[in-house]
Amino acid sequence: MSRDVAKLAAGNAAVALVEDGMTVGLGTGSTAAMFVDALAERVKRHELREVTCVATSELVAARAIAMGLKIVELRDQIDIAVDGADEVALPEFRLIKGLGGALVREKIVAEAARRFVIIVDSEKLVDRLGIYVPLPVEIVSFGAERTYRRILGLGVEARFRSCPEGRKVISDNGNPIVDCYIGPERDVAGMSGLIRAMTGVIETGYFDTDVERVFVGDDEGNVRQLVAPTRKDGVGGC
Ligand code: 5RP
């Protein structure tokens, strides 16, 4: 419950960045859902008239449409993307994402966005990625068992993500997801690079995409704003 307060506070804070006429990337997950609701509320109150959205999953698209937001295809650069994360490593602003299974679309939308903004509760902040949560990896369904065994060959513990009844979880792109347990002995960036280089691997949930800022909510509803020190296009830096 208190984590919900934190997520709500972070989502509400980030929505102030949206301006009329923007195309907004909507992330997937419980925190991103709070942002969707806050954005829809601003539209409903006529604070924003011309906002279009790009969704990173079928689930968030359905929620956004139900809330009266307009969803469009991703065709080009977008103004801003706001998404949650499973872990945020500081001070590098690197992320693990994908426990919600939407990592591929999330990474595409993040890269398409001029401004990539993360909203989390304070429990997501870590010094080092991959110790507490696995690194999600989406692999092509054709030959998935072989690709999975090749990942195991790197010496990491890995499992196909599955539902409680044992079925493999399948992403919106029709592919299985393998959760890789990196642990303290290895480096997530390095392992992600090795895994991504394999034929049959689509993408990993390691994000070294330019994050502009992170809104961190706490269980009392306060929000801290952390701005990344350097960005290629000069945004940020305060
Ligand atoms: C989905 C994601 C989510 O952003 C991540 O899992 C965080 O979710 P939540 O806000 O529910 O904790 O990467 O693929």
Domains in the chain (CATH in brackets) are 2-127+207-222 (3.40.50.1360), 135-205 (3.30.70.260)
The Cα 10–Cα 45 span in angstroms is 20
- Whether the upstream peptide bond of residue 91 has omega within 30° of 0, thus cis, is yes
pLDDT tens column, 29-47: 999 999 999 999 999 999 9
Q: If you take atom 7 of ligand 1, which residue's CA is the nearest one?
A: 85
Average confidence score pLDDT of the chain: 95
Ligand 1 atom nearest to 31, measured from its CA: 10
Would you state the torsion angle of the CA atoms of residues 214, 181, 196, 31, taken in this order, to the nearest 10 degrees?
A: -30
Max intra-chain CA distance, the chain: 55
Q: Work out the number of other CB atoms within 10 angstroms of the CB of residue 134.
A: 23
pLDDT tens column, 131-144: 999 999 999 999 99
Structure tokens at 129: 């990625």
At residue 83 the predicted structure's pLDDT band, cuts being 50, 70 and 90, is very high
Q: If you take atom 1 of ligand 1, which residue's CA is the nearest one?
A: 100
The Cα 142–Cα 26 span in angstroms is 29
Phi, psi for residue 49 in degrees, rounded to 5: -110, -40
Residue to probe by mutation, ligand 1, list 36, 94, 99, most atoms within 8 Å of CB: 99
Q: Pocket residues for ligand 1 (CB within 6 Å)?
A: 27-32, 83-86, 97-103, 106
Write the single-letter amino acid at 163: C
pTM of the predicted model, to two decimals? Answer: 0.95
Q: What is the mean pLDDT of residues 161-178?
A: 97
For the cut 90, the answer to whether the pLDDT of residue 9 exceeds it is yes
Q: If you take atom 5 of ligand 1, which residue's CA is the nearest one?
A: 85
Catalytic residues: 106
Ligand 1 atom nearest to 120, measured from its CA: 10
The Cα 230–Cα 46 span in angstroms is 34
What distance in angstroms lies between residue 83's CA and the mean position of ligand 1's atoms?
Answer: 8
